[in-house]
Structure 1
């Protein structure tokens, strides 16, 4: 029998959550305000700004698996992941500030180059910090339930950062003598704050001893072959593939809601643009309040079943949105409470499931490749976000949407569908994948025992839970055929 993993202290969980406050402030500010800053303040043509951002987003889709592979093979006295926080905090702060400092009077070509360079630099440093930050959480504790507790603290930090990024920047801009100066000062403040948050995590949170050991290496392989092999091992992890497929569908659905909600409030409910922050505040408040409630549900139930329950609640609220009529703002608030309650499960449960699938991959292949798993997870998440943006833009164009005027029936139907039933369908399609997800609390204990002893359990030896990796590798045979190192050595 293996020893029970030690519990994390509350101070460690709070310190780790601080990093999410700073990082999510940057994400929220850029999600809500960056494009309007480029077009309305920096006076860059929309097509130029969009094309320049597309350069960064293309690189963003490629760099997650690559940087994940790099972090898995990092050798440092500070650990595999924490070292990126130590040395990445200051560069990230400077790059985040530079994004909001477009020089005045640039030609369209110069503006394109400036935006493409600053945003791509920021995105590179953000990934180099955020991915190891997420990987650090998977290593801090090996306990099935303690991971959910750590995720609850981290999700609360993310929620605080998301609210801060979407509310504080407009306030700082309005308090400045002009918008250009306001955005530059606000960007500098946000960048410095995010850098300090990352530095705090690097100072207060230390990786376990096993992360300080040199990782398994394959010196005979080229970099390209090593990346390909590690990706193959990742994709042969059936629990991980089921989870990332479900989370990708959920991310697609929730991004559709996020992108279409403003149109729904203004044109379908016939509200005012000032109503949107109030509705968003209610939704995020419910999500925040529900986080630790979902933590208690997970403690007494399985993670995948808890996630399914949350998706059912959220989908029910989204479907009901379709039937709202103009002026029904009280009903809108009631449905946002239901949606936020279900959405809270998404903010906490899947992020505590990913480390369990990484443990399964460790047992399966005999090698722990945390960075690659999180890199592929991030890749699917970003592809889902991009697809949602394309779908919303296509819907608006196809239905004849015209800004700032009352919409026709076809445009209103399209807005309602993109806000309610279509996102609900994405959530419901994720449920069969979660019902097939095999890792339970008891099975995770078996996985951990196998990793600690280096002996594959009968379920793995007989082909259970996707037992074989590339070329039929298993933990017991890995060292014989060169596929991976022994589990204890890894």
Structure 2
């Protein structure tokens, strides 16, 4: 097989419409990270406190330590993916191709409980540092597969509404992966009684599925990506700028600042709610471990259905109005959860559905706005830097995850939450800890969501403005090709 771009370019990159096969393949790329990420979001903190036996505050600090490195890691990989040159795989796909298997292995290692000492108290600090090291490695391999993946969105299509449709497929797979992970949790937890073995088996199954899905995406979108690369290489590219100059331009892009604000606050709301929900179901509602996945599925299942509703509605009323409608539903649900009593199980599921209506917009809207910002940046600078923009988005996603776990973990520890000694039954929690759990599932995410609404209100790029940007870009390309 001749290693040239032309051999893999039967697709016309000028056509803004994507076929179903390409959309499905692209969506599969988020299926694997969603399965592994969802398990981490909902169960990592409770795994640390209830299985590994690490105090809540210390457990919440594990991922925060990685943020110092992450602040460097994400933008660097974003810039490197922009500069990667491979005739056979393009700029983004090599990162996913070679990073997929390490991604699965590191995820599995995160759910092992090493026995450094027979004394539980002496085992605590070695365990802490083990999870810190694995957490650092996890951040790197997650970035290696997820950042180039997300940066492909504007390369697959430049149509304003088609990008929203493409992201609908992406997050449909993402939420489907999340739901599948919860079904797997329910199955594994039902058949395996030992808590430590439960997570080991779950991690192994999820890792295999995640790696497989990434390869489906790589080979499914390859033709379209290489067709884009071929067209891009025909256009004269301006010389590359130094990293710090690029960072300066990125943060001078005013619409991008609003997008990262919308995304950070939305994702903080998602992470805090997701981290707290298992504690809420177990401790405040008096249910069991096997009931936790059902409540989460109510949230994620609703979000999956609403993705396509919001995508269609955004074409009529715009992305900003869709975001406001979804967040309003979630804020009402968060208030209801704070006041729920153990006897109100049916109402709990109803509130979970209402929250899911809002969660879907937290997924869909920020990611459908970022390609428009990249188009504006190309118009202003003459360069396409998807990698560096998406690098900051992935950084914010992981920052939201880590900060959410850190806030909940330290709130629980400050309230007197009792961690479980490995192998022992769950302790009864004091009223102060129950109040902290209620606050973390209701008022705290509401505060973040309100800040997100404020940012969305001032976001400036409309459909009309984006159409004008694309007309100017097309005129420039025609002039440069003349």
Both structures adopt the same fold (TM-score exceeding 0.5): yes
2: distance between equivalents of 1:42 and 1:399?
A: 20
Partner of 1:461 in structure 2?
none
- CA deviations over 1:349-406 (Å, ceiling 9, x no partner): 2211111111111112221110110111122232233332232233323434456325
Change (3 A) 1:101 1:259: closer
1: distance between equivalents of 2:61 and 2:355?
A: 34
Matches within 5 A, 1:31-430: 31-34=41-44, 55-77=65-87, 78-100=89-111, 115-169=131-185, 171-172=187-188, 183-184=199-200, 186-206=202-222, 207=225, 209-212=227-230, 213=232, 216=237, 218=239, 226-402=242-418, 404-405=427-428, 407-408=430-431, 410-430=432-452
2: distance between equivalents of 1:353 and 1:54?
A: 27
Local SS of the residue matching 1:454: helix
2: distance between equivalents of 1:291 and 1:399?
A: 37
- CA shift for structure 1 position 47: 8.8
Change (3 A) 1:426 1:118: closer
Partner of 2:462 in structure 1?
440
2: distance between equivalents of 1:421 and 1:366?
A: 44
**Structure 2: tracts of 5 or more residues without a match:** 1-12, 420-426
Change (3 A) 1:141 1:26: same
User: Scaled by the length of structure 1, what TM-score is found?
Assistant: 0.81
- CA shift for structure 1 position 435: 1.5
Does the CA contact (< 8 Å) of 2:78 and 2:389 recur in 1?
yes
Change (3 A) 1:185 1:266: closer
Does the CA contact (< 8 Å) of 2:64 and 2:403 recur in 1?
no
2: distance between equivalents of 1:301 and 1:55?
A: 42
CA RMSD of aligned residues (A): 3.3
Partner of 1:483 in structure 2?
none
Partner of 1:468 in structure 2?
none
User: Scaled by the length of structure 2, what TM-score is found?
Assistant: 0.82
1: distance between equivalents of 2:51 and 2:445?
A: 33
Which is further off, 46-55 or 391-400? 46-55
2: distance between equivalents of 1:386 and 1:150?
A: 28
2: distance between equivalents of 1:197 and 1:296?
A: 27
Tell me the matched-pair count. Answer: 451
Change (3 A) 1:395 1:312: same
Change (3 A) 1:299 1:359: same
Does the CA contact (< 8 Å) of 2:63 and 2:402 recur in 1?
no
Matches within 5 A, 1:439-478: 439-454=461-476
Which is further off, 168-177 or 444-453? 168-177
- CA shift for structure 1 position 15: 1.1
2: distance between equivalents of 1:123 and 1:45?
A: 22
2: distance between equivalents of 1:38 and 1:322?
A: 25
